[in-house]
Amino acid sequence: MTAHERSFHLGAFIWGVGHHGAAWRHPDTDLKGFTDFNFYKQIAEKAEAAKFDMIFFADRLAISDRYENRFDATLTFIPPVRLEPVSLLGALGAVTEKIGLAATASTSYNEPFTLARKFASLDHLTEGRIAWNIVTSTNDGEALNHNREQHFEHSERYARAKEFLEVVTSLWDSWEDDAIVLDQETPLFADPKKVHYLDHEGEWFQVRGPLNIPRPPQGHPIKIQAGSSPTGRDFAAASADVIFTAQPTLEKAQDFYQDIQQRLIKAGRPQGSLKIMPGVMPIIGSTPQEAKEKADYLEQLVDPIAGLALLSDSMNHDLSQYPLDGPLPPLTEIRGNQSRFKLVQALAEKEQLTLRDLGKRFGGTRSHRLLIGTPEEIAVNLQTWFLSEAADGFNIMPPYLPGGFTEFTDEVVPILQDLGLFRQDYHGSTLRDHLGLAKPANKFLQQKTV
């Protein structure tokens, strides 16, 4: 179906000292990583040397404490601390040259003017290498840190996110690319006809504009979205450049990929203008047996309570009230990350898991795909997914850091390059260049020419 030329992309998706729930208990993990900048600097340099499109930082705005209504399980098992990613991007931008830098920020707990400025500023600082992972936040703990009792309901948070994004992109467009004149003699700093008020008066926001920063080098920093519900998919199809998604099997990933292509067409956008990059946690061994042993070793470090604490938080529902050796109770309606819950529910049913089993499973991978094998097996698996139109690339979720990532860059990336799948070097300088995405038109310029 895809007439355009497809290209293969890689993101390094970084979460604390590793994505695996037991990362911090692994002897090869660098525990300085919770707060030490040099830890992140080394990973970014490694990702850049391997020609990754981007390095991508997740975020959370609270410490999980739904399980037993206190944070003891979290503080015991699941390190809840990490550096704030938007601050981190600026620092990493100063010590890298080519790689894209992505950070998560919530539309529920920020102001559009503030967020537009920060990402525009970072895009200037890095000369066009920034991406924003747009999340709506689904967790009551986060709400409680921001003047609310509960998080926004699903339809509310998408309505707010849509308007938020509209304001942010308008602010980015409020200076035309050539607005700055810099005539020191006349004088004329900028052409007032090329700078625009928004006068936005919406349901959620009143923002006059213009932004007090010139248009970002990429026009708009890259927009990443991870919504999986129909509303979330439509939102991504209408406005995102990259989709980050959890897809457990090739078939489900293909269905998702096709579904997004349909929605993209409906949204009037061209093929190839939205890159779908599922998450995958690779566990790499020199033999299949060694890989399996590494995975088993990590799994036995996971306490079931760690996973149940995370899952309780994700569902906004305390699972400590049910017997550990019983099944996941038949909860029909949850407030929270419903797509993730459905994945978990399907898994529990299919494999007849007890809560204890489920805690162990979720505590390790948080429902993302685990890919265990030799470098060759892993490279071929990724190639198959790409060629089967299940993915345009992958967000690599290293189980522990830095070793769990450098194994991938040192052993898997060269094979992907030999297969002719992945770039040998960067060909452009911005993240848009790496992703093969065009600079967006300026909406104020479009209004002028109409």
- Segment 349 to 408, residues that bind a copy of itself, using CB under 8 A: none
Helix (H) or strand (E) holding 245: strand 242-245
CB 64 within 8 A of CB 312: yes
Is 145 a binding residue for a copy of itself by CB under 8 A? The answer is yes
Please, which residue, 41 or 154, has the CB nearer to a copy of itself? 41
229 is an annotated ligand-binding site residue: yes
Mention every residue, 6+ apart, whose C-beta is less than 8 A from residue 32: 38, 39
Select from 2, 4, 69, 84 the one that contacts a copy of itself (CB under 8 A): 84
Binding track, positions 35-64, relative to a copy of itself; x by CB under 8 A: xxx---x------------------xxxx-
Select from 1, 3, 182, 450 the one that contacts a copy of itself (CB under 8 A): 182
Instruction: Give the 3-state secondary structure percentages of the chain, helix then strand then coil, rounded to 5.
Output: 45, 15, 40
Q: CB 90 → a copy of itself: shortest distance, Å? A: 3
Select from 34, 334, 345, 356 the one that contacts a copy of itself (CB under 8 A): 34
Q: CB 88 → a copy of itself: shortest distance, Å? A: 7
Is 269 a binding residue for a copy of itself by CB under 8 A? The answer is no
**Whats the size of the chain, residue-wise?**
450
Q: CB 93 → a copy of itself: shortest distance, Å? A: 6
User: With the C-alpha atoms ordered 55, 57, 58, 63, is the resulting torsion angle positive or negative?
Assistant: positive
Q: CB 15 → a copy of itself: shortest distance, Å? A: 13
104 is an annotated ligand-binding site residue: yes
CA separation, residue 246 to residues 225, 307, 368 (Å)? 12, 17, 5
Helix (H) or strand (E) holding 359: helix 355-365
CB 173 within 8 A of CB 442: yes
Q: CB 95 → a copy of itself: shortest distance, Å? A: 5
Q: CB 210 → a copy of itself: shortest distance, Å? A: 6
Is 28 a binding residue for a copy of itself by CB under 8 A? The answer is no
Query: Which range of residues in 111-119, 257-265, 381-389, 413-421 is near a copy of itself by CB under 8 A?
Result: 111-119
Is 439 a binding residue for a copy of itself by CB under 8 A? The answer is no
The interaxial angle of helices 338-350 and 355-365, nearest 10 deg, is: 130
Helix (H) or strand (E) holding 316: none
Is 191 a binding residue for a copy of itself by CB under 8 A? The answer is yes
Please, which residue, 214 or 272, has the CB nearer to a copy of itself? 214
Chain centre distance of CA 350: 28
Query: Which range of residues in 182-190, 234-242, 280-288, 347-355 is near a copy of itself by CB under 8 A?
Result: 182-190
- Count of residues touching a copy of itself (by CB under 8 A): 76
Is 122 a binding residue for a copy of itself by CB under 8 A? The answer is yes
CA distance 276 to 15: 20
158 is an annotated ligand-binding site residue: yes
The backbone torsions φ and ψ at residue 126, rounded to the nearest 5 degrees and listed phi first, read -100, 5
Q: CB 221 → a copy of itself: shortest distance, Å? A: 12
Select from 6, 30, 154, 205 the one that contacts a copy of itself (CB under 8 A): 205
The backbone torsions φ and ψ at residue 217, rounded to the nearest 5 degrees and listed phi first, read -55, -35
To 10 degrees, the CA torsion angle through 177, 173, 103, 128? Answer: -10
Select from 83, 274, 283, 379 the one that contacts a copy of itself (CB under 8 A): 83
Is 195 a binding residue for a copy of itself by CB under 8 A? The answer is yes
Query: Which range of residues in 202-210, 267-275, 329-337, 440-448 is near a copy of itself by CB under 8 A?
Result: 202-210
CA distance 239 to 237: 6
Q: Residue 64 region, left (φ>0) first, then alpha (ψ -120 to 50), else beta? A: beta
In the annotated binding site for FMN, the residues are 59, 104, 154, 158, 228-229
